[in-house]
Amino acid sequence: MIGRSRQMLVFLVFISAVILICAPFAGLADISLSSVFQDSVTERIFWQIRVPRVAGAFIAGAVLAIAGMSFQSMFRNDLATPYTLGVSSGAALGAVIAIKLFSDGLFLNLPFVEILSFAGALATVGLIFLLASAKKRNTAQFLILAGIAVNFTTSGLILFIQFLASGSESSSMIRWMMGSLDYTGMEPVIKMLCAFFIIVPVAFFLHRELDLMKINTEIAQSRGVNIKRVNNIIFFTVSFAVAAVVSQTGPIGFIGLIAPHIGRNLVGREHRYLIPASLLIGGLLLLISDTIARTVIAPSEIPVGVITALAGGPFFLFLLIRSSKS
């Protein structure tokens, strides 16, 4: 198994490298390697639009996948996602408030959609943490149920704000909630890269704790894992990283659920292999989805969240049917 896991990782690294190099050349404008260095317009499209978008898609996918994997191990529930604690609905609530207040999303030249969606995501998890910190409530079951309750409440508030919004505001809100990587320049990429450099080292550092917690919580405690400490670290790291990504891209579903599943099928359960595998698979899935989203009906663009949901749902069903057969 270990030999196979390593081979799979090498294969994933190779595939990721190939797709990462090729993806920036796909798109409406025909770009070749030589034209990047010869033509200033092409060079600008390549470095200002294509490269940031490809890099951003890969990084966002990787962060969402590691977040999903961490929550699945922490909650011992393979159906947990980065949004289990209501991060995406909190972010969406922040975003729709910003759009309602400032229809172009800007105030004092500040990107209020981004700021309020980030704040909304953190406020949601902060609320859940406060509720869970009371004695005897800090259980995986409580956190999941509290996340569901918060999701429902914020969804109600979002619908209410949409009801009050004008047609164009409502359209902007729906567009944001579909998820998109439609940005230019490296600034969003750098912000998501910060999230990447927080969540990935933490996950690697805690890989044995995650193994033990996934096996059995009591065995983990008996082996010396401080469950409460590990839970808190994962809770805050994942929440912060996901909030940082969602505030840039909107809520992109299914990556955080599916990538760890595919990873487990390819490299097994051990987190020392599962972390890099999930990271690469998540990055690839979102990158491929985004490349399809921006090329299939070019010059128009399909929101990437639509692609991930359309491809992710049936694919997840396929995995379920296959695992029930085996």
Partner 1 sequence: MIKVESLGVTIGNKKIIDDISFSAESGENISIIGPNGAGKTTLLKSIAGLIDCTGNILIENKNIKEISHIDRGTKISFIPQGSDIDGEFTVRSFVELSRFPYRKPWESINSKDTELVENAIYMTECTEFADREMGSLSGGEKQRVLIAGAIAQDCPVILLDEPLTYLDPVQRDKITKLIDTISKKENRLVITVTHEINEALSFSSRILVMSQGRLVFDDVPEKLMVSNVLDAVFATEFMKIMNPVTGKMMYFPGGSK
Contacts with partner 1, residue ranges (CB under 8 A): 1, 76, 205-209, 211-212, 214-216, 218-219, 221-226, 264, 268-270
**Cα gap 98→37, rounded to integer Å:** 40
Tokens 């409502």 sit on residue: 170
80 — alpha (psi -120 to 50), left (phi > 0) or beta?
beta
Map tokens 């796909």 to a residue.
Answer: 26
The helix-helix angle for 87-101 and 167-178 (nearest 10°) equals: 150
> What per-residue string of b and e applies to 119-153 under the rule 16 or more CB within 10 Å gives b?
bbbbbbbebbbeebeeeeebebeebbebbeebbee
Buried b (16+ CB within 10 A) or exposed e, 212-240: bbbeebeebeeeebebeebbebbbbbbbb
The answer to whether the CB of 305 falls within 8 A of the CB of 180 is yes
What per-residue string of b and e applies to 251-270 under the rule 16 or more CB within 10 Å gives b?
A: bbbbbbbbbbbbbbebbbeb
177 CB-side CA count, 13 A: 20
What is the rounded CA–CA span in Å between residue 144 and residue 260?
19
Q: Which CB sits closer to partner 1, 169 or 211?
A: 211
Tokens of 323: 């695992």
